Amino acid sequence: MTYDEDKELKPLWLVGYGSLLFKPPLHDKAISKDFMKFPGYLNGFARRFWQSSYDNRGTPEQKGRVVTIIPAVDIVSNDEFKDDILRYELRSHKDADKIINDPRLLHDALKVWGCIYYIPPKYAREASEYLDLREKDGYSTHKVSFNVVLDSEEAQDKTIQNIMRELPKNKAGEPVIKSVVYVGTTENESFIGPENTKKTADIIRVCKGDSGPNIDYLVGLNDSMKELDPSGRNRSHDPYLEDLVSLVNDA
């Protein structure tokens, strides 16, 4: 991402749905601990370990697996994606066969839980440059609308109120933030497409890269998803991720 000089004095809102959930931008600097982080979700996407990794979680000879998000429109237009979505995200929908072929209905049915970081203006450029390097294996920047879900304590915090005050709200009254997200699109060289979860688990179990073992990535993501839902309301339930974790642990 080329940083926009005209926006240098504006904060950076950054969505995390994979490693950013447990490894913040500029994680090796003390300032990263001060970045505000809020839970929430994206509509219209499915999260999958369909992106290979030759650097952070693998090598060119033994590529690992990391997550990307697949938009509803790509799922509808690619028949090879549909079985996986029907197996997981739509398995409880009585109209699944209709939803899977309708971009609007599928967009409304899909939800990816994650987080969003508020990075102050003075660190925005540095964070962008850092992320461009970290996400160099096939990821590109996109703008998405992220729905912020605040708990009662956060909602009463004056600092947070000041940040959220001018933001638009969704139908549930939740703040919606136009945000930056890094995505491995279906056209990038490292996108592998649908893969049997048993095969994915076998790869994750043995691969490692510059950022450590691939299995640490999976564990970190799964643990972070649990932290998004301390109330136990099962709001951030991800059956695909849970199935993958189970397969890795059962070996």
- Residues classed as catalytic: 135
Tokens 């749905």, residue located: 17
Contact 146, 177 (CB under 8 A): yes
Tokens of 20: 């950013």
Strand boundaries in 9-151, DSSP class E? 12-16, 36-43, 45-53, 64-71, 111-119, 140-148
Of all helices (H) and strands (E), which one includes residue 208? strand 208-209
Query: Cα(174)–Cα(149) distance, rounded to whole angstroms?
Result: 6
Tokens of 146: 């992220």
Residue 235's nearest CA partner among 172, 180, 191 is: 172
Radius of gyration of the chain (CA): 18
